[in-house]
Amino acid sequence: MFQTDGMPAPSGSACDALPIDAARRKGRGARTNAAGRFDLARIEVADGWDIAEARGAFATQVSVERPRSLITYNRSPDLPFDRSINPYRGCEHGCIYCFARPSHAWLGLSPGLDFETRLIARPGAAEVLGRELSVRGYKVAPIAIGTNTDPYQPVEKAMEITRDCLRVLADFQHPVAVVTKGALVERDIDILSEMAAQGLARVGISLTTLDPDLSRRMEPRAPAPERRLRTIERLAQAGIPVRVMTSPIVPGLTDPEIEAMLTAARDAGATTASWIMLRLPREVSGLWQDWLAAHYPDRAGKVMARLREMHGGRDYDPRWGHRMRGEGRHAELIAQRFRVHARRLGLDGQAPPLRSDLFAVPPRPGDQLSLFA
């Protein structure tokens, strides 16, 4: 555990479900928190904002976990991949809508401020990954990075866990799909471009809005919208296939921007596009509604009415085949608008499948090399 800003660690039992003073949580998404105990660390990364913060604000605390395994497998029919890795638990970007917030409860921490201020880093992940890929009989398929929490959140600048994992995947010539909001992905263009040239890598960039004010409120430490578009441009110029993910779409708040977001992403160099409707599993619903009432009270009722209409009167319906899009008139209208505009822009195609036939376990020091290689 480490701390870089010289601020004392807060006591661990103060906040519970009461709103926290607005001055203290400047630059944070959640308004409430159930506290836990870890040390603090603040790490800054260029994200396009340049907004000073008060010294009394909550700093970011990083604790270390030594993973015994890294690859997580899933059987969800809603997902285009069956395995993923996540270098971090929790995410400093602080997106109030993040569907991964409830996962912090498994650690005895709050899905509120704890999720964005009390991070778990997993150094040694690359070594574990290499060991898992070397297991005899391992069956190759694309690994997704960043499906739960962002692999390029600010802490990655110092820890380089994601970069180390990419180096391992490159050594094994293993296919990878990265999902991020973080401009820090540009640092790893050297690895990703070489892999992309072999058909082994692509990147998805999440773009939720083009409105900088809305973005700053809804995802306070994620890069600004213009900064994400610049990241798309730089990745595309390096020959890395980029998918823009206009996700989540919030009915009554961000859905008017669908066409503009797709156009901006296409102009920046994205070649494919996808979308997901706002999801409010478990604790996310309460956090979202609290945020919505505080920031957009005039639209809170409309937004929640639309979402409940899409989920049979509930805040969220977790059924496979339904949870990502919802159903009903408004869900169908959003889907149609996205589909029509993506087709007009040439973003409706499928990216070529990543190659799995190049995979090979690299020789380790001391291995006997074949005479016939």
Q: What is the largest CA-CA distance in the chain?
A: 74
Answer whether residue 18 shows pLDDT above 70: no
Q: Cα–chain-centroid distance for residue 69? A: 21
Task: Report pLDDT for 167.
Answer: 98
Q: Walk me through the domains of the chain, giving residue ranges and CATH numbers.
A: 88-119+185-345 (3.20.20)
Model pLDDT for residues 195-253, shown as the tens digit of each residue: 999 999 999 999 999 999 999 999 999 999 999 999 999 999 999 999 999 999 999 99
> What ranges make up the beta strands (E) of the chain?
61-64, 72-73, 83-85, 88-89, 118-121, 143-145, 176-180, 201-206, 242-249, 272-277
Yes or no: say if 134 and 309 are a contact pair by the CB < 8 Å rule.
Answer: no
Yes or no: say if 204 and 144 are a contact pair by the CB < 8 Å rule.
Answer: no
Across residues 255-283, what is the average pLDDT? 97
Answer whether residue 43 shows pLDDT above 50: no
Question: Is the pTM higher than 0.75?
Answer: yes
Q: CA-CA distances (angstroms) from residue 267 to 115, 124, 206, 278, 351?
A: 34, 39, 15, 25, 17
Task: Report pLDDT for 319.
Answer: 80
Strand ordering across the sheet containing 242-249: 72-73, 83-85, 143-145, 176-180, 201-206, 242-249, 272-277
CA pair distance 226, 122, nearest whole angstrom: 30
Answer whether residue 56 shows pLDDT above 60: no
Answer whether residue 45 shows pLDDT above 70: no
Model pLDDT for residues 107-164, shown as the tens digit of each residue: 899 999 999 999 999 999 999 999 999 999 999 999 999 988 999 999 999 999 999 9
